Each structure stands twice: as structure tokens, then as C-alpha cells.
Structure 1
């Protein structure tokens, strides 16, 4: 879900209940009524086009209104649309490897290990597919907004109530479930769920937790941010995806609170810095990059958390989470433009258009192909020169 339409839902017991608010930028005024005038997007600077980028191919998937994760496994792209379509594409050509329907609207996805793909429907069903056919379905006790993780012949699910569950990848049999006390508000946005070695790493509230994937027991917890303020909105510190992982180091964002990095083997916090963004982060072995609520793009040094640079020419343009690839940082905006910045200093290198609609997910890279999926269902591939 892109900035400008970050939704928050109230929790009641185990399931997400009614839609509570739409938060725009860092202002909380619309939540309480009244409203504020939305800032005007910054005018675009001249495009220097110092880095060549050519269109490679374009595909179509249905419109996307849920927090999509485009899963990359080798040269395969797994993606989905709100109407229930799940597709696996060849990243070099854009052709369908397979495409199928789960028969219901989708709320979260896609997770894939290259063989099995998994999504969650709006009816709280976890659905696993392979080769264009549905393998199994399993009812979940709570809604999920984070793409399932498919790894080690299992499917892991992080639900909106912060519970984590594991299912057998072949049969859908529930293997274990680990719960924690739920807060009254959760984000209708992708959270954090990934595997690091033999540890399952999940975002639970403002902390990363390392779990034993065999039984769900907690190995460690590392706080990225702690709840502050007196009301539920001010205390909301959920971790949001995507994350930047390099080796054992996982860097992530706590919604409107902080960006930090954790050693996912030892469970120790390397650093945490205040940050007011709502989207996840990207990065490489040198930098962690993210955009703030006003769409300033910030880069922190990965080893220390010190600020490396800031790009402030895209203010209020509704940016996606960034992707760091090679010597560049790619970020899409709400008008369907893909901006490519220099990793070294944040200066603009090039700008290309997609289809005029907002990004449905952070840009991804498969091999040498850079891919952007839009809310209207366009899948746009580019190759930097």
C-alpha cells in the first residue's frame, strides 16, 4: 500500500474489524475529523538521463488494491491481483509461466519458493498453488496483510493480530501457531516475515522476533522502536516491509518511528534512528535507503546508521519503498513515474514512465531486469544500460 493511502484497522479479539482511518503523510488530523489540505507534489526537475534505461516488456495483471509483494525467485516473478489471479512470469521475457485464479479476492501475497506460491484471501483463507493449480486451502483465525513466506517445504503466515503460524507445504496441515497480545490498532500494510539461516524472523509490534521454524518458540527479540504517546495512533509502531537483508543483517522500518538494523543470528540491535516514514526500506552492503512521510529520500550508512545523503526533489509525490540495485536507487511515485537516483549521493540519474498509476509494490530486480507493478495492473520491465 503506497503512502497517501495507509490504512489502519481496529483489532477486536483475533480478527481485524472495521476500517478506522486513512492517514496521509505524518498528519493525524484526518483521523479525528476536520482535515487538512494535501500538500502539492514537488515540480519535477529536468531529467538528466545520465543512465540509459530501455523498456524491456509490458504485461497485464488485474488491478491491485492490497499490499502486494512481488516475489522474485531466480528469473521467476510471482504476483497477483485483487480479483484472485495469481501469475508467475518469466522475468526476461514477461511471458506467463502459469496463471490461475484462487476464486476469491486477495488480501495478501505473493509468497513463493519457485515451486509453491501462496496468498491469503479476504475471506481469511490461505491458498497454496503450484503449476497453475490450487494445492490446498486452509482457514486462518485472523486476517493477514503480509505475504506468506514459503520456505523449507512449509508456509508461514504473519496475521494482523501478530500471530505467526506454520503449515505443511504439501498438505496445508497446521503445524504450530505462536500468538502474542494484540494491540488495538494494526496497519493494513505488509509487515515483516523472512527466513535468515535456520531462523524465522517476524515483525511483532515494534520489534523483530527470531523464531524456531520447527515449533515457533522465540529465540530472541530485538526492539526497533517502542510505543510512545498516550493514544492508540501515537502508540502504533508496527514494522513494515519490505526490509533490506544483507547476510545476517536485517534492516527495517517501524511505522512513523524509526529505521534500524538487527543481527538476525545473535538477535542484537546494531542501531536504530528516528525516522518518520510509512513505507519499508531498501539497501545494499553500504547503505539503507527509505523515504519519509514527506517523500524525502534518506540514506543511512549500514554499518553505523549515520545519515549518508538526502534527496528532497520528490516531496509529496507518494513514493514507494526504494530498491537499491547496483549503483542506483529506484523508487516509483503515485503518478506512475520511476525515478532512478545515484546510490552515492542521491542525485537524479533518469526518469521513465509506466502507465500513470501508483505503484502497487516496491520495484524489484530479477537478473538485469527492473520491474514495477502498478495499481491499475500494469507490469513494466526495464533494463538499465
Structure 2
């Protein structure tokens, strides 16, 4: 039995990737093509608020793609999202009021700890931003051209898998590369999953790996 449905129009040209929904119990947060983030009541599907993560720019349809293609992230009382060819932005989770925003392009999603938000951009750089203001804490260019995926926070380390089958470990305070490991050489597209002893990831060639950060 369907309880409710929410639907919106999408631009004529969009990325062939779709954002996951973030469910927090009473509310669901979803990103859409065109750079929109919507908060919905889980009881009846009614929109509590809608916010703009990024506004399309440029003259061609390709230049104007600003899709939110990864799951939003709740950080304290804020909900944050990032758009392709757009911005990363955080909003008050209750009201949708924008707290901060800055230029960013990403399709792979966000991670956070108590101090920083971590994001891999479409050029291959990994960023740590202040949770409170969005100010840059550090940027690592060690993975440029390697198509890094969504960062994963494990203790005081940041784990990032890439499109060449390597797993990289960065220090959360400085972004320094402190270790790396190779899988089967094929891309890691799915997000690594935390486990009791570390994390598990899968490559596109079917390799399943359990790893630990030591």
C-alpha cells in the first residue's frame, strides 16, 4: 500500500545518476536534478521546505547541469548536500535556512566528523571544510585524475577508494597521505561500508575486500 508520493520535473538533460534519500525518522531529505534539496515529512510526504544547493549556469544544457547525485548528510542540526558543477551547501534541517555555501563540483557524496566535512571533487581533489562555516581546512591533490569516491571517516583517518582500484588513507587534520593499498585494479564505485574491524568495499570486477586502518 502506497502511503504517499512526491514527484518533481527534471531538466531535459541530467546526469545518469540519482541521489539516495536520507531518512532521519520524522523527515526524509532528497536531492534532485537542477540543484534542489527537499525536506519531506515521513508521515504524509508533504514538503517541509525546499532549498537551492546550486543554480544552473552557462549557456548550453551541458554547462547548466547542476544535479545533486549523492545522499544528503546530516551534521548536527544541519543538513548538507553537494551538486555537480555547482556548490556544497548546508541548511538548517528544521527550517531550510542556508547556513553557508561555497563553490564545489562533486557526484560522490559527503562525510563528516565533529569538525570537518569531507568531499572529493570532480577533478580528483579531496577537501576538508569547516562544519561551521565551510572554510577550507585542507585540500589534497594527491588523487587528481584517479576519480576518488566518497570519503569515509574511520577514527582520525579518511579513507578514499578510487577509479583505479586503490584505497588511500589521509590524516583528518592535515590531509597528508599516510597509507594506501591495492585491490584488483578495477574501479571502486560503491561507497566503502564500515564494519566492526574496519571497512568492506567491492570493485567493479567483483572483488570484495575487508580492510582495516592501522
Q: Please, what TM-score do these two structures have when normalized by structure 1?
A: 0.53
The 5 Å alignment of 1:96-107 reads: none
Number of equivalent positions: 213
1:295 aligns with 2:124: yes
Q: Is the 8 A contact 2:70 2:107 kept in 1?
A: no
1:244 to 67, 73, 77: 73
Match of 1:200 in 2: 28
Q: Following TM superposition, by how much is the alpha carbon of 1:182 offset from its aligned partner in structure 2, in angstroms?
A: 2.3
The 5 Å alignment of 1:1-385 reads: 173-204=1-32, 205-385=34-214
Q: Following TM superposition, by how much is the alpha carbon of 1:290 offset from its aligned partner in structure 2, in angstroms?
A: 1.2
Gaps of 5+ in 1: 1-172
Q: Please, what TM-score do these two structures have when normalized by structure 2?
A: 0.92
Q: For the structure 1 residues 193 and 290, does the alpha-carbon distance in structure 2 shift closer, same or farther, using more than 3 Å as the test?
A: same
Which whole-Å CA distance do the structure 2 matches of 1:212 and 1:294 have between them? 36
Q: Following TM superposition, by how much is the alpha carbon of 1:377 offset from its aligned partner in structure 2, in angstroms?
A: 1.5
The structure showing larger relative contact order (alpha-carbon pairs under 8 Å, at least 6 residues apart) is 1
Q: Secondary structure at the match of 2:212?
A: strand
Which whole-Å CA distance do the structure 2 matches of 1:277 and 1:383 have between them? 26
Which whole-Å CA distance do the structure 1 matches of 2:90 and 2:84 have between them? 15
Q: Is the 8 A contact 1:371 1:379 kept in 2?
A: yes
Q: Following TM superposition, by how much is the alpha carbon of 1:305 offset from its aligned partner in structure 2, in angstroms?
A: 0.3
Cα RMSD (Å): 1.6
**Any idea what the Cα deviations from partners look like across 1:214-272, whole Å, max 9, x if unmatched?**
22211111211111122222221111214432333222211121111122222222111
Which whole-Å CA distance do the structure 2 matches of 1:372 and 1:314 have between them? 18
The ranges of structure 1 where at least 4 consecutive aligned residues each deviate by more than 6 angstroms after the TM superposition are none
Which whole-Å CA distance do the structure 1 matches of 2:164 and 2:10 have between them? 36
Which whole-Å CA distance do the structure 2 matches of 1:261 and 1:309 have between them? 19
Q: Following TM superposition, by how much is the alpha carbon of 1:181 offset from its aligned partner in structure 2, in angstroms?
A: 2.3
Gaps of 5+ in 2: none
